[in-house]
Amino acid sequence: MSIMDGFTGNIDNYVNAPRRSGGKWVPHFLVEFDKENCISCGRCIKVCPGGVYMFEDNGDKMIVRIENLDNCIGDTCCEKVCPKNKTMHLHKFSPLTKN
Ligand code: SF4
Ligand code: SF4
């Protein structure tokens, strides 16, 4: 199941909605994140509206991994709350490419 299930009409109405300033908002979808430098604080799990990230029990501790990349809606909230982004960018995004 995709987070886009049930959406109808022109996709531009959803993915290029206008900002208050009048400019177009363009989503940037998560491509991957730097698992090696992640401290598994779980903030990205809390804010992600798509349930993209999950905790995984690796035996010693709970670590964060990507579970449902296809559910990303491109809001980049995970990047904004990530404490590691003050020193390094763990998240890599790509703007929407249409078929
Ligand atoms: S960009 Fe938004 S929807 Fe995508 S993984 Fe990050 S928080 Fe989740
Ligand atoms: S917010 Fe950043 S450091 Fe925290 S679990 Fe997510 S990717 Fe890892």
pTM score, whole prediction: 0.82
Ligand 1 atom nearest to CA at 66: 5
Ligand 2 atom nearest to CA at 40: 5
Point out the ligand nearest to the CA of residue 92. Answer: 1
**pLDDT computed for residue 1 by the predictor:** 62
Q: Under CATH, what is the fold of the domain 12-95?
A: Alpha-Beta Plaits (3.30.70)
Query: Ligand 1 centroid vs 37 CA: distance in angstroms?
Result: 18
Query: Which tokens belong to 2?
Result: 């995709």
CA angle 47, 25, 94 (to 5 degrees): 70
**pLDDT computed for residue 18 by the predictor:** 81
Predicted confidence (pLDDT) per residue in 49-69, tens digit: 999 999 999 999 999 999 999
- Domains of the chain, by residue range, sit at 12-95
Cα distances from 69 to residues 10, 36, 42, in angstroms, run 23, 18, 16
Residue 97, pLDDT above cutoff 80: no
Query: Distance between alpha carbon 37 and the CA centroid of its chain, in Å?
Result: 17
Point out the ligand nearest to the CA of residue 53. Answer: 1
Residue 14, pLDDT above cutoff 50: yes
Cα distances from 63 to residues 4, 14, 24, 52, 59, in angstroms, run 27, 32, 36, 14, 10
**pLDDT computed for residue 90 by the predictor:** 93
